[in-house]
Amino acid sequence: MSNPRWAPIQVYWVSIVSLLNDLSSEVVSKCLPYFLMTSVQAGVAWIGVVEAISEGIGSLARLWVGQLSDLSKKRKPFIVLGYALSVATRPFILISESISAVVSLRFADRFGKAIRNPPRDALIADLSDETNRGHHFGINRGLDTLGAVLGLAFAGMFLKSFEGTEAQGVRIIMFVASGVGLLALLVLIAFVQDVPRKAAHETTAVTQVSQVFHFKSYFSLPPRLRKYLVAAFFLSLGSSSDGFLVLRAQGLHLEMSDTLWALMFSQGVAATSAYFFTKRSDQWGRSRLFVTGWLIYLLCYLFLGMEELNKFQFSIVVAFYGLFYGLTDGVEKAMIADWLIPSHKGLAFGWLGLIQGVGLFISNTMFGLIYDKLSFQLAFWSCSFMTAVGLVLFADARWGK
């Protein structure tokens, strides 16, 4: 297959859906820590618990949905279900008055993400080959992140001009952003189509219906991919919710509007770099870009743990944090697509989502507790340490024997 300048039209439609959804979800997720502190009076530790439960437990669905989409001839129904669940639950977060209600609704929102992401990524992989995977995943990541830029830009401008209290402005922003998610769902239903293919049970004896809910499916993955998943787990232990960046900004006495502007700039860096680097990974090699991105992340968290960090330095660090996303997110998915068995696309991305989700569950819980009970420095620096461990394991998975 050639490497055309333009991707298949379905890659663009899937990516437009991602753009609209990220415009909605990023605004909600970035405003959520502030909402929890001002409207629900939750502490930092509880914010970690909210993110841990929503990301971690929901990740269990990723493995099973990924496998089911391999067994099925269609991936779109799983993608629609995932988006619909998120769209239906986000508005109710705003009328929640208890931390338990927010946890439940946030879990439902992220559970929807867990349902849709593996089949969505597998659909893009279905539309790609080894010569253009980086290009196609780069388009998806670029437009996905552009949605975050647009959403945060709107939120920042609105808060700057809003004459009411900051808390009231945040509620209005979250409500409007929740409505944009409905538009993403409508575009998905109307324009995204499945790729004709054989179901996995027609092409392989490994993945049977009886094994869909069986963790033994891990051993059907290629050895290199299994080793990478171990590294991915430790990299996830080194990660934490972006909501903690909002808390760090609050600690530096940034107004919420200025915080959103800084995060918007970060997402702008991520959007422009994601397409460029993921597309170039087809020629430059994915591993070196991936490692470079995680090294930048490690340094960013070291700087975020510095007590004498000022507002300008925070903005610079957050910009480099966006570069980390641009170098890793789409590149990682293209790299996994290189290593997987063609009939196991959904299974491979499902295992990736599960491993990362469990890691994030542990990481967010511990980060919130360490931040609240010990110090923010130790919370950020412990993430840098776990990232270093993950990079060593990645080197063994990529270049070891």
Contact (Cβ atoms closer than 8 angstroms) between residue 67 and residue 217: yes
Q: What is the DSSP string of 206-220?
A: SS-GGGTT-GGGGGG
Tell me the average pLDDT across 147-160: 89
Distances (CA, A) of 98 to 89, 104, 123, 371: 15, 10, 38, 22
What predicted TM-score, i.e. pTM, was given to this entire model?
0.75
Q: Structurally, what CATH architecture does the domain formed by 10-193+221-399 represent?
A: Up-down Bundle (1.20)
Contact (Cβ atoms closer than 8 angstroms) between residue 178 and residue 28: yes
Q: How confident is the model at residue 205 (pLDDT cuts 50, 70, 90)?
A: very low
In tens, the pLDDT along 80-136 reads 999 999 999 988 888 887 888 888 888 888 888 888 888 898 898 888 887 788 788
Helical segments of 40-59, H only: 44-56
The residue extents of the domains of the chain are: 10-193+221-399
Alpha-carbon span 56 to 51, nearest angstrom: 8
**Would you tell me the crossing angle of helices 311-339 and 223-237 to the nearest 10 degrees?**
160
Q: Which residues contact 25 (CB under 8 A, 6 or more apart)?
A: 86, 90, 109, 113, 177, 181
Burial class (CB in 10 A: 0-12, 13-18, 19+), 113: buried
Contact (Cβ atoms closer than 8 angstroms) between residue 148 and residue 325: no
Q: What proportion of the chain, given as a percentage, has pLDDT over 70?
A: 88
Kindly state the DSSP code that residue 252 receives in the 8-state scheme. T
Here the tokens at position 149 are 């830029």
In tens, the pLDDT along 116-132 reads 888 898 898 888 887 78
* Residue 343 in this model has a pLDDT that exceeds 80: no
Q: How confident is the model at residue 252 (pLDDT cuts 50, 70, 90)?
A: confident
